[in-house]
Amino acid sequence: MLRAARHALAPPRWRASRRASPLTVARPQPAASAPMPSRPVLAVEGLSLAFGGTVAFDAIDLSVRAREIHAVIGPNGAGKSSLINTISGLYAPRAGRIGIGGHSFTRVPTGRLAALGVARTFQNLALFKGLSVLDNVLSGLAEARRAGLAAQLLGLPAARREARAHRAQALSVIALLELDAHRDRLVGSLPYGLQKRVELARALVARPQLLLLDEPMAGMSATEKAEMSGFILAARRSIGTAIVLIEHDIGVVMRLSDRVTVLDHGRRIATGTPAEVQANPAVIAAYLGLDEDEAADVTVGEAA
């Protein structure tokens, strides 16, 4: 029986023909035409994590360049979320190092993430539902606030200047993500797709060098996914942010990403361009539950 059944990654049409690669997705436009600088903003080396006896991932290398959109994909339980959670300091790895912007850590200090230029979103929404869109976006600048509480309460000039600058920054990202019309609405009153967009706005407001997106399109309709993909590209274009993207929709991944890393059972089995990865027998095998010889026999469609 195909193991694909356990993979939420494979849309039904991929399973229809055993001879069609689940990764065969036309790529309408290259995601990035500009040459990329070589220095990575994220350099993960030999990273391993276990929960007691359960290995979440092992000996993972991952390098993300400035302005790159780098997807991390893999079947359920492959270790994707655990990897992002470790990169953002929520979990302590048992081995390996994480380099961020010239600093190297065995465990990333979560309290310094914003200062390191890293922002993230979560698989499940983590917004202040009783606050407006604007206030939620402003909360993404809480760690950037320099004026002390007393200065803010007393309305001292430095605190007022900072508040004005932060508001302008928040309004600019709200405009970028086309949330202007909803600016003063309570987040809890918005449809789910818009709440995910607010979460993206909050992550972007501090203009991070590196953005970690854990399933930003989960639960979205095809139209909402297309919109969100456009906003992710706009963020990269306008802010220059490098993005690590965990996403189950392979079509989205293939269209958006510059490079893709594939995990399976906690191991990295491939890294390459979308075209390289979708032609890789080990990747096809992981998705279809075939051995590599069988996978080599699977028809792989051409990437544009």
With tokens 């809480």, the residue in question is 142
Structure tokens at 150: 């007393």
Residue closest to 203 by CA, chosen among 245, 163, 161, 263: 245
Instruction: Provide the phi-psi class of 59: left if phi over 0, else alpha when psi is between -120 and 50, else beta.
Output: left
Other beta carbons within 10 angstroms of residue 278's beta carbon come to 27
Is residue 48 involved in binding ligand ATP (CB under 6 A)?
Answer: no
Please say which residue, 49 or 187, places its beta carbon nearer to ligand ATP.
49
Q: 179 near 197, Cβ under 8 Å?
A: yes
Is residue 81 involved in binding ligand ATP (CB under 6 A)?
Answer: yes
Which of these ranges, 61-69, 75-83, 106-114, 140-148, lies near ligand ATP under the rule CB under 6 A?
75-83
Please say which residue, 140 or 216, places its beta carbon nearer to ligand ATP.
216
Considering the complex, what minimum distance in angstroms separates the CB of residue 262 from ligand ATP?
Answer: 11
Which of these ranges, 50-58, 149-157, 233-241, 290-298, lies near ligand ATP under the rule CB under 6 A?
50-58
Instruction: By CB under 6 A, name the one of 32, 78, 134, 277 that touches ligand ATP.
Output: 78
- Give just the sign of the alpha carbon dihedral 244, 246, 249, 250: positive
Is residue 77 involved in binding ligand ATP (CB under 6 A)?
Answer: yes
161: burial class by Cβ within 10 Å (0-12, 13-18, 19+)? Answer: exposed
Q: 24 near 278, Cβ under 8 Å?
A: yes
SS3 244: strand
| Cα gap 259→176, rounded to integer Å | 25
Residues 52 to 71: which contact ligand ATP by CB under 6 A? 54, 56
**CA 256 distance to own-chain centroid:** 11
Is residue 73 involved in binding ligand ATP (CB under 6 A)?
Answer: no
Is residue 76 involved in binding ligand ATP (CB under 6 A)?
Answer: yes
Instruction: By CB under 6 A, name the one of 27, 80, 120, 255 that touches ligand ATP.
Output: 80
The one-letter amino acid code at 219 reads G
> Which H or E run contains 268?
strand 267-272
Is residue 79 involved in binding ligand ATP (CB under 6 A)?
Answer: yes
Please say which residue, 83 or 211, places its beta carbon nearer to ligand ATP.
83
Please say which residue, 207 or 265, places its beta carbon nearer to ligand ATP.
265
- Give just the sign of the alpha carbon dihedral 244, 249, 251, 252: negative
Instruction: By CB under 6 A, name the one of 51, 157, 223, 293 that touches ligand ATP.
Output: 51
Is residue 82 involved in binding ligand ATP (CB under 6 A)?
Answer: yes
Is residue 47 involved in binding ligand ATP (CB under 6 A)?
Answer: no
Is residue 40 involved in binding ligand ATP (CB under 6 A)?
Answer: no
Considering the complex, what minimum distance in angstroms separates the CB of residue 45 from ligand ATP?
Answer: 19
Considering the complex, what minimum distance in angstroms separates the CB of residue 277 from ligand ATP?
Answer: 16
Q: What is the DSSP letter of 84?
A: H
Q: Which residues pair with 268 in a beta bridge?
A: 263
The one-letter amino acid code at 239 reads I
Please say which residue, 52 or 155, places its beta carbon nearer to ligand ATP.
52
Is residue 5 involved in binding ligand ATP (CB under 6 A)?
Answer: no
Please say which residue, 80 or 255, places its beta carbon nearer to ligand ATP.
80
**Residues lying near ligand ATP in the complex (CB under 6 A):** 51, 54, 56, 74, 76-82
